[in-house]
Amino acid sequence: MTTKLEILRPAEARKITGLGKTQFAEKQNPKSKYFDPTFPVAVALGCRSVGYYRHELEQWLASRLRITAEERRRRATARGAAA
């Protein structure tokens, strides 16, 4: 099975992730407190252009959704135990 590698420019990648320009940049900046080492790395397309693999963005989103769902379950369990 062959996977089609689709490269998205930053504006398209931001739409898919739902992040704004600043949030998108902060996720990639190692000096930022919002840095996310699991965030997909940009691919150089030229000397002044980058892109992101669609499948990597989708995998990152799926991992974020899993974490969020697990956190919700954990909180619900903690509330139930506290009651």
Location of structure tokens 């899993």: 66
Residue/partner pairs of 61-65 with CB below 8 Å, 24 or more apart: 61/16, 61/17, 63/38
At 52-69, the pLDDT tens digits run 999 999 999 999 888 787
pTM: 0.78
- For the segment 33-45, what is each residue's pLDDT rounded down to a tens digit? 999 999 999 999 9
Q: How high does pLDDT run on average in the chain?
A: 90
Average pLDDT over residues 8-28: 96
Q: In the predicted model, is pLDDT for residue 83 greater than 80?
A: no
Ramachandran class of 50: left when φ > 0, alpha when ψ lies in -120 to 50, beta otherwise:
beta
Q: How far apart are CA 14 and CA 57, in angstroms?
A: 10
The pLDDT, as a whole number, for residue 82 is: 59
Rounded distance between C-alpha atoms, residue 40 and residue 19, angstroms: 13
